Structure 1
């Protein structure tokens, strides 16, 4: 699946860490900054569910 994370660099890093516990992250894009004056950016992930995280 393809996931878009959008937020500050700290927010997207924290979300990526949390997602890595339940998903296998295959690829991570470079950060794409929003237009100024925004301090947010977007990163895109390709991921699959981890087999060990299913109930």
Structure 2
């Protein structure tokens, strides 16, 4: 699946860390900044559900 994270760098980093608990992250894009003067950026993830989280 493709996931877009959008926020300030600290938010996207924390969310990416949390997602690794339930997803296998296959690819993380470079950060794409919003147009100035915005302080947010977006990153895109390619991920699949982790095998060890299925019951």
TM-score bracket, shorter-length normalisation: over 0.9
- Structure 1: where are the runs of 5+ without partners? none
Work out the CA distance in 1 between the residues paired with 2:54 and 2:18.
15
- Structure 2: where are the runs of 5+ without partners? none
Aligned partner of 1:30 in structure 2 is 30
User: TM-score, normalising length from structure 2?
Assistant: 0.96
User: TM-score, normalising length from structure 1?
Assistant: 0.96
| Paired residues for 1:1-55 under 5 Å | 1-55=1-55
Query: How many residue pairs align between the two structures?
Result: 55
Please identify runs of 4+ aligned residues in structure 1 that moved more than 2 A. Answer: none
- Deviation of the 1:47 alpha carbon: 0.1
